Structure 1
Amino acid sequence: MPKISIRGHEMPESPIRKLAPLAAAAKKRGTKVYHLNIGQPDLPTPQEGLNALKNIDRTILEYSPSQGYLSYREKLVGYYKKFNINVSADDIIITAGGSEAVLFSFLACLNPGDEIIVPEPAYANYMAFAISAGAKIRTIATTIEEGFSLPKVEKFEELINERTRAIMICNPNNPTGYLYTRREMNQIRDLVKKYDLYLFSDEVYREYIYTGSPYISACHLEGIEENVVLIDSVSKRYSECGIRIGALITKNAEVRAAVMKFCQARLSPPLIGQLVAEASLDAPEEYHRDVYDEYVERRKCLVDGLNRIPGVYSPIPMGAFYTVAKLPVDDAEKFCRWCLESFEYEGATVMMAPAAGFYTTPGAGINQVRIAYVLKKDDLEKALIVLRKALEAYPGHIMED
């Protein structure tokens, strides 16, 4: 029997989804599962987007242009301008979700063997897309004790060598909720400029910043305009994960030309998704304000609740809708599996993402989980009770000194 590829062997399982069969089995047994593992918002999609979906009057669902519809890209120009991101429609390429934008960025900009520096913990799929492109992720450690702030420039420079081609950030960050400061963004800018690197910046959570601190986009950094590739998506902004619409934005014409070859090879981004996403840009400010206010309340509910559980620690996330929490357990993945396979409290259990899957350093994050506060407050409060009871009952619970 033929063997599968080395790439197939190296491709990591998703820490967000790999326990899904255990959750399905728990539900089959009649157990309610509180899904804290995945960034799937339960808030409604804008009515403008839903109306566009319901009122499609086309007689043919045709291919769209490989770079996406011009009308949508032109409308996005106005959206980005609200954040002081000044781009043209030609700078924007529509992709099948932010995931395809990351993959095409890697494929267009990196050669096999090239290295990307990524602060860890990091969104797990970056590793998968790097493997797909034949590139290598080199991580620079951040710690929960320091709130996941960036280390000093010297730590970055220790990793830079002749194979280093790019730095990748997620701001606000998934999985930690950390928001990079102006000083940190300037630090990254200086490194990119000094070593002539690409800066891939995943900024899909820009709407969700809770500290009053300014949102510093990679597109705001002066002097590296040609080095920046911005990654975006409507999935979280409008609760439209399933329409698979993202964007790759860069002022670098050579990068865009290379990306377009991959876009042409996959033909076109989703037609119906673009229609919904374009209409959703007309959502009123009230929609965004209500969603934002809801996440503010959920964040407080979750983080306060976590830190009241003995032995649990969560820093206060400054953006997005995730936190990484440290648990008093021997192994967070074993604990997450045990919760789904062997535990329930009043007919319910919790599903979380083991944080080790967001690190590449062996042993890092072993007692941490990523939790998404995408459930309504009532469900979060119930999930916190279940989590507390699970920790009390778990055989691998580590007692505090």
Structure 2
Amino acid sequence: MPSISKKGNNMPESPIRKLVPYSEKAHALGKTVYHLNIGQPDIKSPEIAMDAVKIHSLDVLAYSRSEGSHDYRVKIAEYYKGFGATQIEAEDIIVTTGGSEALLFAFGSIMDVDDEIIIPEPFYANYNGFSVASGVNIVPVISKIENNFALPPIEEFEKLISPKTKAILICNPGNPTGYLYSKEEIQKLAEIVKKHDLFLIADEVYREFIYDGKKFHSILQEKGIEQHAIVIDSVSKRYSMCGARIGYLVSKNKEVIKTALKYAQARLSPPTFAQIASEAALQTPAYYFEEVIKEYSHRRNLLIEELRKIEGIKIGVPNGAFYCIVELPIKNAEEFAKWLLSDFDVDGETVMLAPAAGFYSSPNEGLNQVRIAYVLNEESLIKSVNILKEALKVYKD
């Protein structure tokens, strides 16, 4: 019998999606499942984006350019200039099939097999998959829930740098923690990558989702690291358009863009209709985001307030994105999450959580933690936390 590749066997399952069969079985039994496991916003996509697809003049649904529509990239560059990234031009941007493809292009363009990339953990779970697919080794910098996942001193990164280190990757604000990097932290990271001649990759897809009056600082605003900086971006969460699968890779480094374009050519082009919708979305009025941020801020505050009523848990309070990590008074969050779906309900209702161990690369980290996405409405969030509270009263490891 033909064998599967070692790389294929080593590819990790998504901690966000691996419990789907349990959820489907719960649905089949007639249970209501509140999905706290995945960052699929329930906010409506901007009407201007949806209308652009409904009302189009295309006679042929043709390929676009491999790097994406020129007009669209010009408008993306204007978007970046709007928050201070004044040096970005259309030729510095490659439109990708989601932020995921942008990450794969970045990994493939700057790293060889067995090279190393330093990433603060917990981190977006698919970074593990991208590293396996690229043959790259993750070197983690561990942050702890006890201090709200604040980074250890930036200088700790330097201790991990080896001859194989090619890049530092951050998610800002963070998935799964909601951690927001300060301007000072970004500046320290900038100094490190300049000093050691590394790339600094910033996954900034949650840029708009910042709370408590705090300010976001992009690596594209940092002077002097233009040749080191690579930004990963996406329309998925910004415009509640996850199904569009449109992202960007952005860099002033011409060799990075030239190399990433080879990968883009190999997959031909990003989807045409999705680019039409995403280009129109750039005209979304400011009040849309004001309302969205107000709503997510309310949901975050409500979630934290309700969770704090549960005895024995720890909460990482997020300053951005729409996730938080919660440490539960149990031994194994994955087994607990399965049990919630297969063996527990409150009046026919239960919840689906994302076990947090999959957001670490270090073994035995996050085993009793879960990630909660607060993308549900107020009533559903309150019900979900109550179900969690009742479940913890009766669950036995």
- Bin for the TM-score computed over the shorter chain: over 0.9
CA distance in 1, matches of 2:362, 2:255: 34
3-state SS, counterpart of residue 233 of structure 2: strand
Q: Distance in 2 between matches of 1:206 and 1:191?
A: 23
Corresponding residue for residue 136 of structure 1: 137
Aligned pairs for 1:144-293 (under 5 A) are 144-293=145-294
CA distance in 2, matches of 1:28, 1:57: 42
Report the TM-score, using the length of structure 2 for normalisation. Answer: 0.98
**After superposition, what is the alpha-carbon deviation per residue over 1:160-219, rounded to whole angstroms, capped at 9, x for unaligned?**
111000000000000000001122112211111111001110000010110322211111
The letter of the residue matching 1:157 is E
1:34-49 paired onto structure 2 within 5 Å: 34-49=34-49
In the alignment, structure 1 residue 363 sits paired with structure 2 residue 364: yes
Q: Deviations over 1:220-256 (max 9, x none)?
A: 2222111000000000001100010000000000110
SS in 2 for 1:138: strand
Quick one: distance in 2 between partners of 1:280 and 1:213? 25
**Alignment check: 8 A CA contact 2:166 2:198 kept:** yes
The percent of aligned pairs where both chains have the same amino acid is 49
| Deviation for aligned residue 1:271 | 0.6
- Please give the per-residue CA displacement for 1:106-142, whole angstroms capped at 9, x wherever unaligned: 0011011110000000001111111111111111100
| Shift of residue 369, structure 1, vs aligned partner | 0.3
State the match for 1:20 in structure 2.
20
Distance 1:125 1:282 in 2: 30
Q: Indicate the residue corresponding to 1:399 in structure 2.
A: none
Determine the C-alpha separation between the residues in 1 that align with 2:343 and 2:41: 27
Q: Structure 1 residue 78: deviation in Å?
A: 1.8
Unmatched runs of 5 consecutive residues or more in structure 2: none
CA shift digits 1:309-346 (9 cap, x unpaired): 11122122000000001111111111101101111111
Which residue matches 2:6? 6
Aligned-partner Cα distance in 2 for 1:336–1:83: 40
* Structure 1 stretches of at least 4 aligned residues deviating more than 3 Å after TM superposition: none
RMSD: 0.9
2:52 and 2:194 mapped to 1: Cα distance?
43
Cα distance in 1 for partners of 2:137, 2:72 equals 34
Residue of structure 1 equivalent to 2:305: 304
CA deviation after TM superposition for structure 1 residue 385, in Å: 0.8
**Greater mean deviation of Cα atoms: 262-271 or 283-292:** 283-292
Paired with 1:280 and 1:361, the residues of 2 have a C-alpha distance of 39
Counterpart AA for 2:165: T
Unaligned runs of 5+ in 1: 397-401
Q: CA deviation at 1:154?
A: 3.9
Deviation at 1:395, TM superposition (A): 1.3
1: CA distance, partners of 2:133 / 2:194: 27
CA distance in 1, matches of 2:309, 2:386: 11
Q: CA deviation at 1:290?
A: 0.9
Once residues 71 and 302 of structure 1 are traced to their aligned partners in structure 2, the CA distance between those partners, rounded to angstroms, is 41
- Distance in 1, Cα, partners of 2:72 & 2:319: 30
| SS, match of residue 201 in structure 1 | strand
How far off is 1:56 after superposition? 2.4
- State whether structure 2 residue 335 is matched by structure 1 residue 329: no
**2:154·2:185 contact (CA, 8 Å) conserved in 1?**
no
Deviation at 1:281, TM superposition (A): 1.1
1: CA distance, partners of 2:223 / 2:54: 43
Q: Which residue of 2 aligns with 1:52?
A: 52
Structure 2 partner of 1:353: 354
- 1:1-28 residue CA offsets vs partner (Å, 9 max, x unmatched): 1111010011000000000111011000
Measure the CA separation in 2 of the matches of 1:289 and 1:213. 14
Q: TM-score, normalised by structure 1?
A: 0.97
| Number of aligned positions between the proteins | 396
1:39 CA drift (Å):
0.4
- How far apart, in 1, do the equivalents of 2:69 and 2:204 lie? 22
Q: Secondary structure at the match of 1:162?
A: coil
In structure 1, the residue corresponding to 2:325 is in which secondary structure? strand
3-state SS of paired residue (1:229) = strand
Contact persistence 2:96–2:246 (CA under 8 A): yes
Deviation of 1:57 (Å): 2.6
Equivalent position amino acid for 2:142 in 1: A
Report deviation, 1:382: 0.8
CA-CA distance at 1:347 after TM superposition: 0.7
Distance, in Å, in 2 between the alignment partners of 1:235 and 1:392 is 37
State the one-letter code of the partner of 1:32: T
In structure 1, C-alpha distance between the alignment counterparts of 2:114 and 2:281, rounded to whole Å:
40
> 1:159 deviation in Å?
1.2
Deviation, 1:307, is 1.4
| Cα distance in structure 2, aligned partners of 1:82 and 1:306 | 37
Aligned equivalents of 1:261 and 1:25: distance in 2?
43
Task: Tell me which residue corresponds to 1:127.
Answer: 128
The answer (yes or no) to whether the contact 2:190–2:225 under 8 Å persists in 1 is yes
Aligned residue number for residue 393 of structure 1: 394
The CA distance in 2 between the partners of 1:182 and 1:279, in whole Å, is: 31
Aligned residue for 1:357, secondary structure, equals: helix
1:74 counterpart residue number? 74
Looking at structure 1, the residues matched to 212 and 125 of structure 2 have their Cα atoms a distance apart, in angstroms, of: 26
Residue 85 (1) aligns with residue 92 (2): no
Equivalent-residue separation in structure 1 for 2:227 and 2:91 (angstroms): 14
